[in-house]
Copies of this chain bind each other. A is one copy, B any other.
């Protein structure tokens, strides 16, 4: 029953986030040979003001 938490900068489309859930579930299912039914995945979007790379916000870095 693996669980994946994905953190991303806010702004991806619903379609992309759906693809993340679908593909990450399949990836884990294959890697550890368990049915997809056992896998949980959720995404936590973080605003670009609250995500820091090298001490700067993603917003200030223009992402």
Contact = CB atoms under 8 A, between A and B. Distances in A.
Contacts of A3: 3, 6-8, 40
The copy count of this chain in the complex is 6
Interface in A4-63: 4-9, 12, 14, 16-33, 35-46, 49-57, 60
B57 A50 contact: no
Nearest to A5: B5
Q: Is the interface of A mostly helix, strand, loop or mixed?
A: mixed
A20 B27 contact: yes
Given A2-B7, A24-B4, A16 B40 contact: no
B2 A4 contact: no
B50 A32 contact: no
